[in-house]
Amino acid sequence: MQNSDLERAHVTVSGQVQGVFFRDSTRQKAKELGLAGWVKNTPDGRVEALFEGPSERVREMVRWCEAGPQQASVENVDTDFESAGGDLEAFEVL
């Protein structure tokens, strides 16, 4: 896949998003979509993630983050779209 077909999204999700399986659910959804990147909790109670892959799948993942898993209560999703580096190979929980 050419880098021009790839997109990267850096996402920060706020709300009730820790302790509700947000990271594991994100990992499962990203794997289902074939995306690379990572997801982690931040000390201030948010979840931060980086998704890289085909543009339409990255955007689907960002839309998924706006709701999150059933137990979550998402208040806000900040998203920065960036050029894909093509250097990510897998998706992991940090």
Active site residues: 23, 41
User: How many other CB atoms sit within 10 Å of the CB of residue 46?
Assistant: 20
Strands 91-93 and 36-41, bridge-based pairing:
parallel
